[in-house]
Amino acid sequence: MLNRSIELISELKKLLEKSFVIPIIDRVIIDYDRLKSLINELDHILPNEIIEANEILKNKDEIIDEAKKEAEAIVKIAREKADYLLNENTITQRAEKEAEEIKREAEKYALSLLIKVEEILKKELAIIEEAKNQLK
């Protein structure tokens, strides 16, 4: 309806611009029926628009509060999602570090076992060499 009010006002302006001005007596000759029709339509539309505008003004605080609540809820969800992703990333990084540490420890342990086996084998090989030398 607001658009129609604006259109009617625009039509009134055009009607005035098209009217015939009598400068000497400062009067205008205008299409009376058209003017009356436009004013009647405005008279019919404007009260409804004013009531609608007053309702919007009355409810604006409620509308703004609702919009703020929705915005806060969206921000809260976004923060929770960010925290979740950050925690998930932290957990993943921690697990990767622990896995790397376990792997290093396992490799270290395997190396120490191989060194012990090598020492035992060297001793056994020395015993075998000595036994061979005694048989000669």
Q: Which residue has the higher pLDDT, 105 or 44?
A: 105
Instruction: Give the domain range for residue 58.
Output: 2-135
pLDDT for position 1: 59
Average pLDDT over residues 4-30: 89
Q: What is the pLDDT of residues 75-93, one digit of tens each?
A: 999 999 998 888 888 888 8
In sequence order, the 6+-apart residues with CB closer than 8 A to the CB of 35 are 12, 15
Local confidence band at 45 (pLDDT 50, 70, 90 cut-offs): confident
If you ran DSSP here, which 8-state letter would residue 98 be given? H
CB 42: neighbour CB atoms within 10 A? 17
Local confidence band at 71 (pLDDT 50, 70, 90 cut-offs): very high
Count of domains observed in the chain: 1
Q: Is the pLDDT of residue 2 over 80?
A: no
Q: Which residue has the higher pLDDT, 52 or 18?
A: 18
